Amino acid sequence: MNLVKKYASLVKFSHTIFALPFAIIGFFIGLYAPSFSSDTTLQRGTFSPKLFSLVVLCMVFARSAAMAFNRYLDSSFDAKNPRTAIREIPAGIISKQSALRFVVLNCLLFIASSYFINSICFYLSPVALLVVLFYSYTKRFTALCHLVLGIGLSLAPIGAYLAVTGKFDLLPLLFSFTVLFWVSGFDIIYALQDEQFDKENQLYSMPAALGKKKALTVSEYLHLFSAACILFAGIYGHFGWFFWIGVAVFIGMLLYQHSIVKPNDLSKVNIAFMTANGIASVVFAVFVLLDIFLRSK
């Protein structure tokens, strides 16, 4: 059990709370696809505990592989940074070799799980892994690394939708774009803590490239785009009042995190990063699911 805790800490398992609710939204939109899509060939699905479990497992395996690979690749930088020196690899709790084996295991489990979903998910699984693993390299050459992270997590709703329907559609893509801009924006806020360290170690990030004030402005615009996508999704999908209550909470949490983080005061970055975004994701998903279930009756 102690070993499980060590690896759960390595991959910050609690951060699954960000993208998993959107994967669940994508799953249930796929289940009731005829209610949301103009594609007349789509049929309403029947809830399958097996399929739902496979989707959740794919999320967990892909994210665990990505996080562990990031920790593996960045271990030398983490050891130099006082904020991250206590992480498992630099602290000697988990060896680099063990972390790499963990990455390989999760990649294989992700591909195997996708095989039991459907052919399109299986064929696209290496592409998904390439995206989420590639992010770990981007801080070495581009300040747009935050967007690459956003792309990785944005695969959750469209991937879950594909698992159910086997087809692409606009509505889950709108949720994917919501996640892309949302995650990119709050990752910039999180990166504010390492502005000076990134500059000193030739690492790229928005705060290092633009400074704290301008980086926060970029984050605000990204969150504005996220809000626009979620509003468009609500209109396009003809959602009801529960959805719009969820939207109000989601956008409210975006505004809240920007109200408590200032260029000259980063004391509440962790509240903005974990608490505000965790509430935004979970509460929004609850209200969206309520809306979907009421529509299905």
Nearest to 183 by CA among 214, 217, 140, 226: 226
Nearest to 66 by CA among 153, 3, 182, 156: 153
Q: Within 13 Å and on the Cβ side, how many CA atoms surround 36?
A: 33
pTM higher than 0.75, yes or no? yes
Do the beta carbons of residue 280 and residue 250 sit within 8 Å? Answer: yes
| Cβ count near 108 (within 10 Å) | 12
Q: Which pLDDT score, from 0 to 100, does residue 41 have? A: 67
Digit-coded pLDDT (tens) for 98-135: 999 999 999 999 999 999 999 999 999 999 999 999 99
Give me Rg for the CA atoms of the chain: 19
Q: How is the chain split into domains, by residue range? A: 2-296
Residue 282 scores a pLDDT above 60: yes
CATH of 2-296, one of 3.40.47.10, 1.10.357.140, 3.10.450.200, 1.20.1260.10: 1.10.357.140
Tokens representing 239? 């959602």
Digit-coded pLDDT (tens) for 3-60: 888 998 998 888 888 899 999 999 999 998 777 766 666 677 789 999 999 999 999 9
Q: Which pLDDT score, from 0 to 100, does residue 15 have? A: 83
Residue 280 scores a pLDDT above 90: yes
